[in-house]
A and B are shown apart, each in its own frame.
Chain A
Amino acid sequence: MNLAETRIVGIGESALGKVPSRSALQLQSDAAYAALDDAGLALKDIDGLITTPIRVEPWNMPCGVVSSFLGVQPSYLSTLDLAGASGAAMIHHASMAVASGQCNTVLCVAGQNLLTNKSRASAVQTMAESGAAHPQFESPYGLLVASNYALIAQRHMYEYGTTAEQMAEVAVTIRNHALLNPNAHMTKPITVQDVLNSPMITSPLKRFDCALVSDGAAAVIVTSLDRARDLKQKPVRVLGQGYGLSHSYVGEAMNLPFSGAVQSGKRAFEMAGVKHADIDVAELYDCFTITVIIELEDLGFCKKGEGGAFVQNGRIALGGELPVTTHGGLLSCAHPGLGGGLFHVLEGVRQVRGQAGARQVKDAKLALVHGNGGTIAIHCTLILSQ
């Protein structure tokens, strides 16, 4: 069997936003049961499990802790950490596990009660000290995770003339998408002026240029094409996939405006054998507004330096040329840590199934899903098809 003979057959998510009634394991369990129900499978059908580390509790072996809690008897299990690229990478790893014959049906599940457990301020400190900055050569200078992205944004503005208004356009567009998602954390509209007026965090990034801190979990089930045929949903195929890595820390990166998305995107498009114009919707990782602009450039949807202009005039909004991050993303739907990129996978699957409701891109056949980890460092691109 090869990767072409595996399929995504189930997706699910927990309640998102502020969910004080649920622990990390309960949130993951809620998402897992939702995905099983979506697929028409039972827990006894799951024989593989992939999860990510969490920040709110010390788990010595996350995949073991989650498997045991759910009562899964796995013949394959793994804890994956590609930082923000973990969500997309989990799907690829699950497909490899099934294709190799190691197991038949893999549950990918991740999430935690990041907001309730830590508060936004405490979560910000934990994330700042948990490795995005080099522990010896960067952390002592007082960087937020956002400061690393701010250094990239500043350089991008310097080299290409990208503006704060263009970055704000990303936040506004993705917020508008979240307003069409009944489960999204954020429920009120914002304007470009609201973004520009929001408190400066680490220049040039303001509060609304930055992702949320949320409670929540997401789950995806991957199985073989054979097994997929008699399940509830129209199976979704990973047509193309690619990884890319450009650096580990911002301080050592010699060409900051470029990211590993150049390589991950090229590999995914080559494997899928499709062109950029064929992509109907792009679920791009949106930890900060600048991230989306750089991904659009490096994935090849526009030339380097033109990402700022690309996001204007409704081009990345629903109804536009390339709708981006239609569920509301990390900026406005949910960001519960490493699992945050899994929500982009869920939305890509919904779009090509034709189940995205008010957010449905008409006749969507191909969805690109992109995960970004570290500080525009590690990337995983998926191209999903019906």
Chain B
Amino acid sequence: MTFSRPLPSPNALTAPYWQAAHQRELKLPRCEACAKFHFYPRSACPHCGSTQLGWHTASGKGEVYSFTVVHRAPSKGFEELVPYVVAVVALAEGPHLMTRLTQVQPDTVRIGMPVQVDFEKQDEETTLPVFCPVEK
């Protein structure tokens, strides 16, 4: 028996993000007035208040802002992954983003480590952006 994991339920505000992710692309909301990126998606720019917002492809690059190695899964669906690394990544575009690090030994993860986006297909409709160390 396999156990499911919680998956995102996109809505009108967030659908562009999840549609892009399913195409293996990281898109972020950006303000057309002040040109700054933000995340999570909002109705107005948190920097200048403008409601002229668009979606732009991000570089997919960033560095580890903080991380935790999860040894005790929150539910059965995650048990096969233990121990796994949940991280906040500071994206090159400015905003932070919660993710999981892949292709990495948990005990080698450090704050400041350069990482880049990768994609993990969950089912026929959903793909999660994950991050992995930048290859040297």
**Taking beta carbons and an 8 Å cutoff, which residues of A are in contact with B?**
124-125, 128-129, 133-144, 147, 150-152, 154-155, 158, 199-205, 249-254, 256
Q: Describe A's contact surface by its main secondary structure.
A: mixed
Decide yes or no: A203 and B81 within 8 Å by CB, A141-B86, A147-B86 being known contacts.
Answer: no
The complex places the Cα of A124 from the Cα of B78 at a distance, in Å, of: 13
The complex places the Cα of A152 from the Cα of B99 at a distance, in Å, of: 15
A-B contact count (CB 8 A): 111
Q: Determine whether the beta carbon of A140 is less than 8 Å from that of B128.
A: yes
Q: Determine whether the beta carbon of A143 is less than 8 Å from that of B128.
A: no
Q: Determine whether the beta carbon of B8 is less than 8 Å from that of A136.
A: yes
Residues of the B chain whose Cβ atoms lie less than 8 Å from the Cβ of A128: 74-75
- Min C-beta distance of B7 to chain A, whole Å: 6
Q: Determine whether the beta carbon of B67 is less than 8 Å from that of A151.
A: yes
Q: Determine whether the beta carbon of B5 is less than 8 Å from that of A137.
A: no
Decide yes or no: A142 and B100 within 8 Å by CB, A251-B88, A252-B95 being known contacts.
Answer: yes
Q: Which B residue's beta carbon lies closest to that of A127?
A: B74
Which listed residue (A134, A142, A154, A251) contacts B74, Cβ 8 A?
A142
User: What 10 A-B pairs have minimum CB-CB distances, sorted nearest first?
Assistant: A251-B98, A128-B74, A150-B68, A136-B8, A142-B78, A155-B66, A203-B69, A151-B66, A138-B98, A141-B100
Q: Which of B6-28 contact A (CB under 8 A)?
A: 6-10, 14, 18
Given contacts A140-B8, A199-B71, 17 further A-B contacts (CB under 8 A): A128-B75, A129-B6, A134-B98, A136-B14, A136-B18, A137-B8, A137-B40, A140-B6, A141-B100, A142-B86, A151-B68, A158-B66, A202-B70, A202-B71, A203-B69, A204-B68, A253-B96
Query: Is B72's beta carbon under 8 Å from chain A?
Result: yes
Decide yes or no: A125 and B75 within 8 Å by CB, A151-B86, A251-B40, A251-B88 being known contacts.
Answer: yes
Q: Determine whether the beta carbon of A201 is less than 8 Å from that of B71.
A: yes
Q: Determine whether the beta carbon of B66 is less than 8 Å from that of A135.
A: no
Q: Determine whether the beta carbon of B66 is less than 8 Å from that of A137.
A: no
Query: Is B119's beta carbon under 8 Å from chain A?
Result: no
Q: Determine whether the beta carbon of B65 is less than 8 Å from that of A155.
A: yes
Q: Which A residue's beta carbon lies closest to that of B7?
A: A140
Residues of the A chain whose Cβ atoms lie less than 8 Å from the Cβ of B84: 142
Which listed residue (A142, A158, A253) contacts B5, Cβ 8 A?
A142
User: By CB atoms of chain A within 10 A, which of B10, B68, B71 has the most?
Assistant: B68
Residues of the B chain whose Cβ atoms lie less than 8 Å from the Cβ of A201: 70-72
Query: Is B97's beta carbon under 8 Å from chain A?
Result: yes
Query: Is B73's beta carbon under 8 Å from chain A?
Result: yes
Residues of the A chain whose Cβ atoms lie less than 8 Å from the Cβ of B87: 151
